[in-house]
Structure 1
Amino acid sequence: MKISLKRINDNYLFETTNERGNIVLLDNKSEGEPKGASPMDLLLRGIAGCSSIDVVMILRKMQHELEDLRVEVEGFREDGAVPNVFKKIQLDFILKGDVPSAKVKRAVDLSMEKYCSVSKMLEKAAEINYSVSLNGEIVE
């Protein structure tokens, strides 16, 4: 895996490109209106995306298809700390579909506890918690 980065303005706006040519803009919120995501924002997006891919893949292997999948992620940092890393991350998986709740819970558990590389990497630095809801009902 390889990423290249180039600066595209006189401030903090950067363009990152992966080997497939996909572009993501990075920016800093300290000056003006950001035109891209912050690096810490991308970490939260990464854990949401990684775990979601796993969940869809696991459910498909179980021969279940979701109608909808959303993940809300919140990162909590220690005020004033340098570096200001995430100390806690909360993910809320919100799923819809005609899928048994036990299968949904198992898929999310497998992702978060075994398969999601981003989660496994971030758990070395931050406490990671998650909840699962299916069709508006909390799944325990």
Structure 2
Amino acid sequence: MIKIELERVKGDYGFEAKDAYGHTVHIDNSTEGGGSDFGARPMQLLLMGLGGCSGIDIVSILKKQRQNVEGFSMKIEGEREAGKEPSLWANVHIVFELKGEIDPQKAYKAAELSMDKYCSVAETLRRAGGSLKWSVRVNDQNIQ
């Protein structure tokens, strides 16, 4: 069982979350909602988790295939359901950007395996009704 501890440490909504290993994350509400911009919003953390989950998968797969990943970044955009409470992620798009000596088709397949098979966060969002789209760029070239 995973254990997470949360403690309010700043203002009304500024929390520090700590995992069992002592890693911390700051969480806060928007300033419009009374927060003090102390940390990331909870729903943004979910998209960050998606990026981390898929990024770990992709790099791991490519390393096993002896691909030289010199740089890896991603851009994640999300749109939440309008006029609903709770408002879930309805549409999410990720652009995986890799640099190095990488076979473009291997990079695409690694992303596909992550997003469709291995990434638990992606599956969590899908089961909640979210639509996940993604694309891959290797050395500034779009891959299909």
The partner residue of 1:132 within 119, 132, 136 is 136
Q: Which residue of 2 aligns with 1:45?
A: 48
- 1:128 to partner: Cα distance: 0.4
Residue 116 in structure 1 maps to residue 115 in structure 2: no
1:85 maps to a residue whose letter is: L
In structure 2, do the counterparts of structure 1 residues 129 and 65 end up closer, same or farther at CA, with 3 Å as the change threshold? Answer: same
The partner residue of 2:61 within 58, 70, 89 is 58
- 1:8 to partner: Cα distance: 1.2
After TM superposition, the score normalised by the length of structure 1 is 0.96
Identity %: 39
Contact 1:5 1:17 in 2 (8 A): yes
- Backbone CA RMSD of aligned residues: 1.0
Residue 87 in structure 1 maps to residue 61 in structure 2: no
Alignment partners' CA distance in 2, 1:32 and 1:17: 20
Moved beyond 3 Å, runs of 4+: none
- 1:33 to partner: Cα distance: 3.9
Partner SS for 2:127: coil
Question: Higher strand proportion, which one?
Answer: 2
After TM superposition, the score normalised by the length of structure 2 is 0.93
Contact 1:56 1:65 in 2 (8 A): no
The partner residue of 1:68 within 66, 71, 82 is 71
- CA deviations over 1:18-60 (Å, ceiling 9, x no partner): 0000010110002254110111010000000000000000001
Q: Which residue of 1 aligns with 2:20?
A: 19
Structure 2 unpaired stretches of 5+: none
The number of residues matched between the two structures is 140
Alignment partners' CA distance in 2, 1:24 and 1:18: 9
